[in-house]
Amino acid sequence: MIQHSVLFVCIHNSARSQMAEAFLNTFGGDYFIAESAGLEAGKLNPNVVKVMQEVDIDISHKGTQDAFELFKKGRSFNAVITVCDEASAEGCPIFPGVIKRLGWSFPDPSTFTGTHEEILEKIRKVRDQIKESVLAFIEEGKHMEYWIK
C-alpha cells in the first residue's frame, strides 16, 4: 500500500500542527506518514500535550521544527496542510511536487485566556475539531483519484 506524505504547518509547530500530525499518524498510518513544522520553530505547548494525553496520544517526546528548513533540505510531501489562520498560512513555503495544498483554520491555543481549566477546555475543542478534520481527510484521501493532479 502506498503511503502519502503529509506536512501540517502552523505558526510555531507548538500546538495545532502537532495535534494534526499525531491524529493522522494514529488513525491514518496505513495510508499516510505525517510530519509537522512551523513557520518558525517554537516550544511544544504543555497544555496541548496534556489534552492529547487525555485521548491516549503522547506527543510529549516531540520536538518542533521549521518548515523553511524542511524546504531547504529538499523535503517533498504529497500534501501540505496549514492549520493556522489564512494570513499566517500565506507565509508557508511552496514545496515542489506537492499534489494537495489545503488550509484548515483553527484558533491558536497560545492566545487562549482564562483560568487553567478554561484554557484546557478551549484547547480540547480545537483538538476535537482537528481530529474531525483529520478523520475526514483520511476518508477522502484513501481514494487514489484524490492524489491525481
Q: Please pick, among 84, 123, 130, 134, the residue that the annotation labels catalytic.
A: 84
Cα–Cα distance for residue pair 97/108, rounded to 1 Å: 29
Name the H helices within 28-115: 46-53, 67-72, 86-89
Query: How many independent structural domains does the chain possess?
Result: 1
pLDDT value for 133: 97
32 is catalytic: no
Low-confidence ranges of the chain (pLDDT < 70): 1, 86-98, 144-149
CATH number of the domain where residue 106 is located: 3.40.50.2300
Sheet containing 4-10: which strands, arranged edge to edge? Answer: 32-38, 4-10, 79-82, 100-103
Query: Which structural domain, as residue segments, surrounds residue 52?
Result: 4-147
pLDDT value for 40: 86
The cell numbers describing 149, all together, are 493532479
Cα–Cα distance for residue pair 66/48, rounded to 1 Å: 19
66 is catalytic: no
Determine the distance from the C-alpha atom of residue 41 to the mean position of all C-alpha atoms in its chain, rounded to a whole number. 14
Prediction pTM value: 0.90
92 is catalytic: yes
Q: Please pick, among 7, 9, 10, 52, the residue that the annotation labels catalytic.
A: 10
The predicted-structure confidence for 28-48, as pLDDT tens digits, reads as follows: 988 999 999 998 889 999 999
